[in-house]
Structure 1
């Protein structure tokens, strides 16, 4: 049975947003592609009401089943698109008359857009992204693509680049770095 909160209804809703000009067609299509790919792992019962799906847990499952096909950055983009699609879908379901899509601008919600001043100034730049430096001693060993680790009900940490032949000493070294990052509060 295809309920009004089903996977199919969500995909139809995204088509509706694009068709009616309520959302940029490319944005709606990108959200639809993410929703279609990720929600495809749900069984029929789970897909009957996508508004109650635990997205973090769903992405752990998706990464385990199909994560090797995607870069970690792509998984994060898919997750953001799916969350946005479901939030809009829920808001529309709750009150179609007052619905306005939460369209994003460069990955940020409209309320978080940089404000331009009189001279065309923008807010402070985004902080730099840390990128680990590759070893100069040769190619890295074969590694696990992405290892999702649920640490809280609403938070899954993903570790990338662990070698298949990880030793206990190397695991301890990584654990010590993570322990050093923990807050003492």
Structure 2
């Protein structure tokens, strides 16, 4: 790479191309990131020296010069510095033929959750409808088909604990 490959005019061309979705996809830059660095770079483009290669640009000084032109906050200056540095770094990498997009993350393959094995010892259940009142049928679900007397007594005690005393009529 020569200094003629990393000139301001080539940088302007690179920044202009960031508005092209096909270009950003090709080089691997997220569209939102491309928009942010393009807007910041365009803001300081007039301040960048014409005759100096990108490797020699002092981004801090360039962005600080923006304070003389625009009334911007300190936090905005930090944002501009970060984005313009990112733009220049990506431009130099692109000019060198190096990848400029984010590194692909290791993605674990999605696996289906393991289903419990059906065994011969799985409990078989049924639903027991009990006519309770003339217009009410109580359904007790998931009763095991091999319900023991002890388990039945336990269910009775639990249900009895919810009972209210009968009203005198």
For normalisation by structure 1, the TM-score amounts to 0.44
Which has the larger Rg?
2
Q: TM-score, normalised by structure 2?
A: 0.48
